[in-house]
Amino acid sequence: GAGVSQSPSNKVTEKGKDVELRCDPISGHTALYWYRQSLGQGLEFLIYFQGNSAPDKSGLPSDRFSAERTGGSVSTLTIQRTQQEDSAVYLCASSWRGQGETQYFGPGTRLLVL
Amino acid sequence: AQSVTQLDSQVPVFEEAPVELRCNYSSSVSVYLFWYVQYPNQGLQLLLKYLSGSTLVKGINGFEAEFNKSQTSFHLRKPSVHISDTAEYFCAVSHTGTASKLTFGTGTRLQVTL
Protein backbone atom coordinates (compact mmCIF):
# COMPACT_ATOMS: atom_id res chain seq x y z
CA GLY A 1 0.00 0.00 0.00
CA ALA A 2 0.96 3.65 -0.17
CA GLY A 3 3.43 4.91 2.37
CA VAL A 4 3.95 8.37 3.80
CA SER A 5 4.48 10.90 1.06
CA GLN A 6 6.04 14.34 1.32
CA SER A 7 6.24 17.25 -1.06
CA PRO A 8 8.21 18.87 -2.41
CA SER A 9 11.17 16.50 -2.31
CA ASN A 10 13.55 19.44 -2.60
CA LYS A 11 13.05 23.11 -1.89
CA VAL A 12 15.49 25.96 -2.41
CA THR A 13 14.48 29.33 -1.02
CA GLU A 14 15.99 32.66 -0.19
CA LYS A 15 16.55 33.83 3.33
CA GLY A 16 13.49 35.63 4.65
CA LYS A 17 10.96 33.81 2.49
CA ASP A 18 8.19 31.58 3.86
CA VAL A 19 7.98 27.90 2.92
CA GLU A 20 5.32 25.23 3.27
CA LEU A 21 6.12 21.55 3.47
CA ARG A 22 3.41 18.95 3.00
CA CYS A 23 2.94 15.49 4.46
CA ASP A 24 0.38 12.86 3.44
CA PRO A 25 0.31 10.14 6.12
CA ILE A 26 -0.69 6.53 5.65
CA SER A 27 -4.47 6.29 5.44
CA GLY A 28 -6.02 5.49 8.81
CA HIS A 29 -3.03 6.57 10.87
CA THR A 30 -4.17 8.86 13.66
CA ALA A 31 -0.72 9.99 14.80
CA LEU A 32 1.52 12.24 12.73
CA TYR A 33 5.00 13.51 13.56
CA TRP A 34 7.44 16.01 12.11
CA TYR A 35 11.19 15.65 12.65
CA ARG A 36 14.17 17.57 11.34
CA GLN A 37 17.48 16.01 10.31
CA SER A 38 20.48 18.29 10.03
CA LEU A 39 24.23 17.84 10.15
CA GLY A 40 24.68 19.86 13.27
CA GLN A 41 21.70 18.69 15.31
CA GLY A 42 21.01 15.15 14.12
CA LEU A 43 17.40 13.99 14.20
CA GLU A 44 15.14 16.24 16.24
CA PHE A 45 11.47 16.01 17.09
CA LEU A 46 9.43 19.04 16.06
CA ILE A 47 5.70 18.44 16.57
CA TYR A 48 3.22 15.60 17.11
CA PHE A 49 -0.48 15.33 16.27
CA GLN A 50 -2.69 12.64 17.77
CA GLY A 51 -6.30 12.49 16.67
CA ASN A 52 -8.25 15.50 17.89
CA SER A 53 -5.95 16.22 20.82
CA ALA A 54 -3.97 19.41 21.08
CA PRO A 55 -0.64 18.93 19.27
CA ASP A 56 2.61 18.53 21.17
CA LYS A 57 4.62 21.49 19.91
CA SER A 58 7.45 21.11 22.39
CA GLY A 59 10.09 20.55 19.71
CA LEU A 60 9.43 23.58 17.54
CA PRO A 61 12.65 25.65 17.63
CA SER A 62 11.06 29.09 17.32
CA ASP A 63 7.77 30.84 16.70
CA ARG A 64 8.68 31.00 13.02
CA PHE A 65 7.72 27.33 12.85
CA SER A 66 4.10 26.19 12.83
CA ALA A 67 2.16 23.18 11.65
CA GLU A 68 -1.40 22.16 11.15
CA ARG A 69 -3.22 18.99 10.33
CA THR A 70 -6.44 19.33 8.43
CA GLY A 71 -9.22 16.77 8.71
CA GLY A 72 -7.01 14.44 10.69
CA SER A 73 -4.99 13.62 7.58
CA VAL A 74 -2.70 15.90 5.59
CA SER A 75 -0.28 18.09 7.52
CA THR A 76 1.57 21.24 6.53
CA LEU A 77 4.70 22.51 8.24
CA THR A 78 5.24 26.22 7.68
CA ILE A 79 8.49 28.05 8.26
CA GLN A 80 8.21 31.83 8.16
CA ARG A 81 11.09 34.20 7.42
CA THR A 82 13.47 31.31 6.75
CA GLN A 83 17.03 31.47 8.01
CA GLN A 84 20.09 29.61 6.77
CA GLU A 85 20.10 27.47 9.91
CA ASP A 86 16.69 26.13 8.85
CA SER A 87 18.42 24.20 6.07
CA ALA A 88 17.80 20.53 6.80
CA VAL A 89 15.80 17.49 5.77
CA TYR A 90 12.30 17.62 7.21
CA LEU A 91 10.87 14.18 7.86
CA CYS A 92 7.25 13.29 8.44
CA ALA A 93 6.10 10.06 10.08
CA SER A 94 2.76 8.51 10.93
CA SER A 95 1.54 5.66 13.10
CA TRP A 96 -1.76 3.97 13.90
CA ARG A 97 -1.89 5.52 17.33
CA GLY A 98 0.71 6.86 19.70
CA GLN A 99 3.10 5.35 22.15
CA GLY A 100 4.94 2.19 21.18
CA GLU A 101 3.52 2.11 17.69
CA THR A 102 5.88 1.86 14.74
CA GLN A 103 6.38 5.22 13.08
CA TYR A 104 6.51 5.03 9.29
CA PHE A 105 8.66 7.72 7.76
CA GLY A 106 8.34 9.56 4.50
CA PRO A 107 11.33 10.27 2.23
CA GLY A 108 11.67 13.80 3.54
CA THR A 109 11.85 17.30 2.10
CA ARG A 110 15.34 18.67 1.66
CA LEU A 111 15.23 22.40 2.38
CA LEU A 112 18.08 24.68 1.41
CA VAL A 113 17.95 28.32 2.48
CA LEU A 114 20.34 30.54 0.58
CA ALA B 1 13.99 13.98 29.82
CA GLN B 2 15.64 11.14 27.96
CA SER B 3 18.76 10.87 25.85
CA VAL B 4 20.40 8.31 23.60
CA THR B 5 24.11 7.78 23.07
CA GLN B 6 25.59 6.00 20.11
CA LEU B 7 29.29 6.10 20.83
CA ASP B 8 30.44 4.82 17.44
CA SER B 9 29.90 7.30 14.64
CA GLN B 10 31.31 4.87 12.09
CA VAL B 11 31.79 1.12 12.08
CA PRO B 12 33.74 -0.44 9.21
CA VAL B 13 33.34 -4.19 8.79
CA PHE B 14 34.09 -6.81 6.18
CA GLU B 15 31.28 -8.68 4.49
CA GLU B 16 30.16 -11.85 6.33
CA ALA B 17 31.71 -10.64 9.58
CA PRO B 18 29.59 -10.09 12.70
CA VAL B 19 28.78 -6.59 13.85
CA GLU B 20 27.52 -4.89 16.99
CA LEU B 21 26.26 -1.31 17.05
CA ARG B 22 26.11 0.11 20.53
CA CYS B 23 23.30 2.14 22.04
CA ASN B 24 22.93 3.41 25.58
CA TYR B 25 20.07 5.49 26.88
CA SER B 26 19.27 7.63 29.85
CA SER B 27 15.78 8.16 31.17
CA SER B 28 14.08 8.73 34.52
CA VAL B 29 11.01 6.82 33.34
CA SER B 30 10.25 3.65 31.44
CA VAL B 31 10.96 3.75 27.73
CA TYR B 32 10.32 1.90 24.54
CA LEU B 33 13.41 1.27 22.40
CA PHE B 34 13.81 1.27 18.64
CA TRP B 35 16.41 0.78 15.95
CA TYR B 36 15.86 2.46 12.59
CA VAL B 37 17.95 2.20 9.42
CA GLN B 38 18.39 4.91 6.82
CA TYR B 39 19.70 3.99 3.39
CA PRO B 40 21.22 6.79 1.27
CA ASN B 41 18.66 9.38 0.20
CA GLN B 42 15.81 7.49 1.80
CA GLY B 43 13.61 7.86 4.85
CA LEU B 44 13.93 5.86 8.04
CA GLN B 45 12.80 2.24 8.23
CA LEU B 46 12.14 0.35 11.44
CA LEU B 47 14.48 -2.60 12.06
CA LEU B 48 13.10 -3.69 15.40
CA LYS B 49 11.62 -2.45 18.66
CA TYR B 50 11.38 -3.40 22.29
CA LEU B 51 8.17 -2.65 24.13
CA SER B 52 8.06 -5.32 26.85
CA GLY B 53 8.55 -9.04 27.42
CA SER B 54 11.54 -10.94 26.11
CA THR B 55 14.66 -8.81 26.20
CA LEU B 56 15.98 -10.33 22.97
CA VAL B 57 14.23 -8.81 20.01
CA LYS B 58 14.54 -10.04 16.44
CA GLY B 59 13.98 -7.73 13.52
CA ILE B 60 14.15 -7.59 9.78
CA ASN B 61 17.18 -8.45 7.65
CA GLY B 62 18.66 -10.77 10.29
CA PHE B 63 19.22 -8.07 12.92
CA GLU B 64 18.56 -8.56 16.61
CA ALA B 65 18.96 -6.45 19.74
CA GLU B 66 19.04 -7.13 23.44
CA PHE B 67 17.55 -4.85 26.05
CA ASN B 68 19.65 -4.66 29.19
CA LYS B 69 17.89 -2.62 31.82
CA SER B 70 20.71 -2.66 34.36
CA GLN B 71 23.18 -1.33 31.80
CA THR B 72 20.56 0.85 30.08
CA SER B 73 21.67 -0.54 26.74
CA PHE B 74 20.03 -1.77 23.56
CA HIS B 75 22.85 -2.96 21.31
CA LEU B 76 22.13 -4.06 17.76
CA ARG B 77 23.78 -7.18 16.36
CA LYS B 78 24.00 -9.17 13.19
CA PRO B 79 26.02 -12.40 12.92
CA SER B 80 26.98 -11.93 9.26
CA VAL B 81 26.67 -8.64 7.38
CA HIS B 82 26.18 -8.04 3.67
CA ILE B 83 27.23 -5.20 1.43
CA SER B 84 23.59 -4.16 1.29
CA ASP B 85 23.63 -3.47 5.05
CA THR B 86 25.73 -0.37 4.43
CA ALA B 87 23.59 2.43 5.85
CA GLU B 88 23.09 4.76 8.80
CA TYR B 89 21.59 3.17 11.91
CA PHE B 90 19.72 5.15 14.54
CA CYS B 91 18.78 4.07 18.03
CA ALA B 92 15.75 5.83 19.51
CA VAL B 93 13.63 5.87 22.64
CA SER B 94 10.17 7.04 23.48
CA HIS B 95 8.37 7.51 26.76
CA THR B 96 5.93 4.75 27.70
CA GLY B 97 3.45 7.31 28.93
CA THR B 98 1.59 9.80 26.83
CA ALA B 99 4.58 11.23 24.95
CA SER B 100 5.35 9.01 21.99
CA LYS B 101 7.81 11.26 20.19
CA LEU B 102 11.14 9.61 19.42
CA THR B 103 14.44 10.82 20.82
CA PHE B 104 17.22 9.70 18.51
CA GLY B 105 20.90 9.01 18.94
CA THR B 106 23.38 10.63 16.59
CA GLY B 107 23.56 7.58 14.38
CA THR B 108 26.18 5.00 13.43
CA ARG B 109 27.39 4.67 9.88
CA LEU B 110 27.89 0.98 9.07
CA GLN B 111 30.27 0.55 6.15
CA VAL B 112 30.49 -3.00 4.82
CA THR B 113 33.31 -3.80 2.41
CA LEU B 114 34.49 -6.89 0.57
Note the pLDDT tens digit of each residue in B43-80: 899 999 999 889 999 999 999 999 999 999 999 999 99
Q: Which of B44, B48, B95 to mutate to test the interface with A (most CBs of A within 10 A)?
A: B44
Q: Cβ A105–B95 below 8 Å, yes or no? A: no
pLDDT value of position B2 = 86
Q: Are B63 and B57 in contact (CB under 8 A)?
A: no
| pLDDT greater than 60 at residue A1 | no
pLDDT value of position A98 = 65
Range B75-100 average pLDDT:
91
Over the range A10-36, which residues count as b (16 or more CB within 10 Å of their CB) and which as e?
Answer: ebebeeeeebebebbbbeebbbbbbbb
| pLDDT greater than 80 at residue B97 | no
Per-residue confidence band for A99, with pLDDT thresholds at 50, 70 and 90: low
What are the CA-CA distances from residue A109 to residues A36, A48, B104 (Å)?
10, 17, 19
pLDDT value of position B40 = 86
Of B29 and B102, more confident: B102
pLDDT value of position A75 = 97
CB within 8 A of A22, min separation 6: which ones?
A: A6, A7, A8, A74, A75, A76
B contacts of A30 (beta carbons < 8 Å): none
| pLDDT greater than 90 at residue B11 | yes
- Rounded distance between C-alpha atoms, residue A93 and residue A75, angstroms: 11
Considering only CB atoms, B43 lies closest to which of A33, A102, A108, namely: A108
Backbone angles phi, psi at B84, to 5 degrees: -70, -10
- Closest to A4 (Cα-Cα) out of A97, A90, A94, A65: A94
A59 close contact with B: CB closer than 8 A: yes
A contacts of B102 (beta carbons < 8 Å): 33, 35, 43, 45, 103
| pLDDT greater than 70 at residue A32 | yes
Mean confidence (pLDDT) of chain B? 93
Range B2-7 average pLDDT:
93
A contacts of B32 (beta carbons < 8 Å): 99-100
Range A18-31 average pLDDT:
95
> With the C-alpha atoms ordered B28, B33, B35, B41, is the resulting torsion angle positive or negative?
negative
B19 close contact with A: CB closer than 8 A: no
Q: What is the DSSP letter of B103?
A: E
Per-residue confidence band for B99, with pLDDT thresholds at 50, 70 and 90: low
* DSSP secondary structure string for all residues of B10-53: EEEEETT--EEE--EEEESS-EEEEEEEE-TTS-EEEEEEE-SS
- Closest to A81 (Cα-Cα) out of A8, A19, A10: A19
* DSSP secondary structure string for all residues of A36-68: EEETTTEEEEEEEEETTSPPB-TT--STTEEEE
Residue of B nearest to A3 (CA): B43
- Rounded distance between C-alpha atoms, residue B31 and residue B107, angstroms: 19
| pLDDT greater than 60 at residue A70 | yes
For residue A2, how many other CB atoms are within 10 A of its CB? 8
